[in-house]
């Protein structure tokens, strides 16, 4: 497996598109062909994809019908997203091999450049998850239009298309702009704005890392950063508030804590990847503390001296706890190391039993 490192700099164009009805339109024939499974067990995949769907045609209808699907996979299934990702395997190579070269050089000159530079990295990066595709490319706008045409051409082979294919959707990723992708927001700060030195994610922070490396200049603080998009952050707050709703006041305290921890843990395991996200989600601690206190006040409103009762029975070392259950803080769930998303070839080739010491060292 070849890994190409993205060395980000300005003048990148991006194409952020969604595939129309991907889960419903994906071809079963392509699934069987591209899934790396032996023929001996492929029948299991065929049985799963062709499982009958039973239900009413619409909400108003009472007639029960049975349909055997000829295309598509279940939206909420575990292996569905994996199968969808397999279908689009080869997109990066297809675009790279068909897009126009920026400079036309003689073979002799090209070989000299490759020999001198030693490593020629790709200028096109295709990031995709199921029906969400984000393409970054360092190229003129005209070339980005060509990349969109190649993407549509590639999808047409599987009877798929993107939303609004007639519109040229390539944009320049300029300072001060951002890209939203699968719940994340990729931000490119503008060093020229006065608010830069006072920004939540760009102001000078005195941390052990910054003190060691001296990362205080605007240049070192002006790199792109990742945060949770507003919609996803609002959704997790709404889920927590819904769990603490007055209608759930009958729940035992330990059950309430476990339910809330499950919501928070699921959110953090997906989103808590970078230092900027850790800074952003700290506000959840205040929300959890406030709502938990409110829930206990409602539940024990008839108890005399309720505040003293709550402090004595449910708070220990400034943490809400009851019967071996502790309400999580966002700092309790550690960020996933980013290198795991693109592990080295040595790590991929290592054996979990023979090279256990190597893997333990890498996972620290």
**300-314 pLDDT, tens digit each:** 988 899 999 999 999
pLDDT tens digits for 313-341?
999 988 999 888 999 999 888 776 665 66
pLDDT, tens only, 104-154? 455 655 555 555 544 444 578 888 888 899 998 887 777 888 899 999 999
Question: Model confidence over 208-254: pLDDT tens digits?
Answer: 767 776 667 777 777 889 999 999 999 999 999 999 998 999 999 99
The answer on pLDDT for 162 being more than 80 is yes
3-state DSSP call for residue 220?
Answer: helix
Phi, psi of 285, deg, nearest 5: -60, -45
Q: Tell me, what's the pLDDT at 119?
A: 43
Mean pLDDT of the chain: 83
- Give pLDDT, residue 285: 93
Q: Confirm if 201 and 279 have CB atoms less than 8 A apart.
A: yes
In order of 19, 89, 96, 133, 322, the CA distances from 159 in angstroms are 11, 15, 21, 17, 55
Confidence of residue 100 (pLDDT cuts 50, 70, 90): low
Average pLDDT over residues 38-44: 86
Q: Is 41 exposed, middle or buried (0-12, 13-18, 19+ CB in 10 A)?
A: exposed
Rounded-to-integer distance, Cα 214 and Cα 204, Å: 11
Helices (H), the chain: 22-25, 28-34, 39-49, 80-87, 91-98, 107-117, 141-156, 208-213, 218-221, 230-243, 253-271, 275-280, 283-299, 306-314, 345-349, 356-363
Q: DSSP character for 159?
A: T
């Amino acid at each position: 497996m070849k890994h190409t490192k993205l060395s980000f700099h300005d003048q990148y164009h991006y194409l952020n598109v969604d595939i129309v009805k991907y889960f419903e339109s994906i071809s079963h024939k392509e699934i069987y062909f591209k899934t790396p499974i032996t023929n001996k067990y492929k029948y299991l995949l065929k049985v799963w994809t062709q499982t009958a769907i039973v239900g009413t045609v619409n909400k108003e209808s009472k007639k029960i019908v049975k349909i055997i699907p000829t295309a598509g996979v279940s939206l909420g299934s575990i292996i569905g997203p994996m199968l969808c990702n397999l279908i689009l395997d080869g997109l990066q190579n297809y675009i790279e091999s068909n897009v126009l070269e920026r400079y036309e050089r003689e073979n002799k000159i090209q070989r000299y450049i490759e020999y001198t530079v030693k490593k020629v990295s790709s200028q096109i990066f295709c990031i995709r998850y199921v029906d969400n595709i984000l393409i970054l490319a360092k190229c003129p706008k005209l070339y980005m239009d060509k990349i969109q045409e190649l993407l549509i051409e590639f999808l047409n082979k599987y009877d798929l298309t993107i939303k609004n294919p007639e519109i040229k959707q390539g944009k320049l990723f300029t300072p001060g702009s951002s890209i939203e992708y699968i719940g994340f927001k990729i931000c490119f700060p503008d060093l020229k704005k006065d608010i830069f030195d006072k920004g939540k994610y760009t102001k000078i922070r005195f941390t052990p890392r910054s003190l060691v490396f001296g990362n205080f200049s605007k240049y070192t603080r002006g790199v792109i950063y990742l945060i949770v998009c507003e919609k996803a952050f609002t959704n997790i707050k709404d889920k927590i508030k819904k769990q603490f709703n007055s209608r759930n006041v009958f729940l035992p305290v330990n059950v309430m804590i476990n339910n809330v921890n499950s919501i928070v843990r699921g959110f953090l395991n997906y989103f808590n990847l970078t230092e900027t996200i850790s800074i952003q989600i700290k506000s959840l601690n205040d929300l959890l503390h406030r709502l938990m206190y409110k829930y206990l006040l409602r539940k024990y409103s008839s108890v005399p001296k309720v505040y003293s009762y709550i402090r004595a029975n449910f708070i220990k070392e400034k943490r809400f706890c009851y019967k071996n259950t502790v309400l999580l803080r966002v700092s309790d769930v550690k960020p996933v190391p980013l290198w795991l998303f693109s592990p080295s070839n040595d790590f991929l080739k290592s054996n979990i039993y023979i090279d256990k010491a190597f893997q333990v060292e890498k996972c620290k």
